Amino acid sequence: MTLSLALACLWAILGGLLAMLPSRDNHWRLAYALIATGLPLLVYVVCRTGRWSGWWWRLARQACCAGRCAMAGAGCGAGPCDGRHDMTDSYPPLRGRLTRDRALADLTWLRVGGPADALVQPADLQDLCDFLAALPPGMPVFPMGVGSNLIVRDGGLRAVVIRLGRGFNAITVEGTRVTAGAAALDAHVAKRAAEAGVDLTFLRTIPGSIGGAVRMNAGCYGSYVADHLIEIRAVSRDGRLVTLPAADLNLRYRQSDLPEGWVVVEAVFEGAPGDPAELEARMDAQLRKRDETQPVKDRSAGSTFRNPAGFSSTGQADDSHELKAWKVIDAAGLRGATRGAAQMSPKHPNFLVNTGGATAADLEGLGEEVRKKVFQHSGLQLHWEIMRVGDPLDRTGV
């Protein structure tokens, strides 16, 4: 089987190369091009139904690309292999779900954004590892949680978006250690830990899932992921399952050194022991305070900008607001500022809100206007906390 696959792939590549040689007879060029395209297709079918490996997959796709180039040279109407076509025409096998050109707006809290090249929802950990191992290394990968802290630009995202679901949301507690899947919601982890008498209450009011909380070192009321994280398990861009201690992530205010394209799949936390009833009461108080001060019923993505002070609100009575993002935005007269259907919330001016029908350009444009005016007013440079990804909409319509 292995020898036959090798011969098929080598012949396909040879056919593609011969098809690109100068020739007076386009019929020969076309014949070689068809061989270069057809045989890798056969290899693909065999691999999908029999023994498969990512190495064969990549070889077959490269041969197909050569065949397309040859067919274009033979005048048969096929487009040349410009890289983008080759990278989006075929993807490795997946037992989960892969959706091409998937609009992302309905997957983000702000309800904006164009399509991704592909949305991948792996069936389980092995499915994710196999897929990333076989995916060409030049193809961008973007791990996405529940979209709570994200603006996807209107032109969409030229990447494979990885979204974890069932199979990645388990929560277990052993003593004072809590292990949570990356797809588990922060609030669910806080509640499950409290039920077991473990204090991770700071997670209760943080929107999003554990994978994003780790990547951004999420924090609230003076506590951060960095204060409790022991280690994570992540799948590298080339499909390896890696265990990283928290120290290797270099966690700091809303940042980490998690490599690009790596997908967090699990995190282990350590919490202080506590009485379940007292922990529950504390979380209830946090929720009441959040509801009083934040536009929880509006479409927002949480805090828009990092605090210039370099730390989160502590929630304590002596908490200083002088270098808080909401304070400097308010001082610049931008509470309630609008652009299109985007608005800086009148209730909390560091919350960017989609009042209905806003585009990503409206939201990001308003944010940039706020940054500019705050700098003009106070000399302070605001930095985005919301992640913005993708391409602006092509106004030419092409």
Could you say which DSSP state residue 209 is in? B
Return the structure tokens found at 125.
């950990």
- What is the three-class DSSP state of 56? helix
- Residues 342 and 288: beta-carbon distance below 8 Å: no
Q: Is 174 exposed, middle or buried (0-12, 13-18, 19+ CB in 10 A)?
A: exposed
Beta strand ranges found along the chain (DSSP E): 97-103, 115-121, 141-144, 150-152, 157-163, 171-174, 177-181, 198-199, 219-220, 223-224, 229-235, 241-245, 263-270, 272-273, 299-303, 338-339, 342-344, 351-354, 387-389
Q: How far apart are CA 326 and CA 361, in angstroms?
A: 22
Name the catalytic one among 61, 102, 256, 385. 385
The reply to whether 254 belongs to the active site is yes
Name the catalytic one among 148, 223, 300, 303. 303
The reply to whether 385 belongs to the active site is yes
Q: Is 160 exposed, middle or buried (0-12, 13-18, 19+ CB in 10 A)?
A: buried
Q: How far apart are CA 237 and CA 141, in angstroms?
A: 8
- Residues 275 and 197: beta-carbon distance below 8 Å: yes
Residue type, position 283, single letter: M
- Residues 210 and 264: beta-carbon distance below 8 Å: yes
Sequence-separated (6 or more) residues with CB below 8 Å from residue 307: 313, 323, 324, 325
For tokens 């069936």, the residue is 123
Calculated CA dihedral for residues 370, 372, 373, 375, nearest 10 degrees: 120
Q: How far apart are CA 271 and CA 198, in angstroms?
A: 5
- Residues 331 and 378: beta-carbon distance below 8 Å: yes
CA dist 24 to 18, 20, 66, Å? 13, 12, 20
Name the catalytic one among 29, 61, 254, 371. 254
- Please state, as a whole number, how many other Cβ atoms lie within 10 Å of the Cβ of residue 317: 5
Q: Which residues carry out catalysis?
A: 254, 303, 385
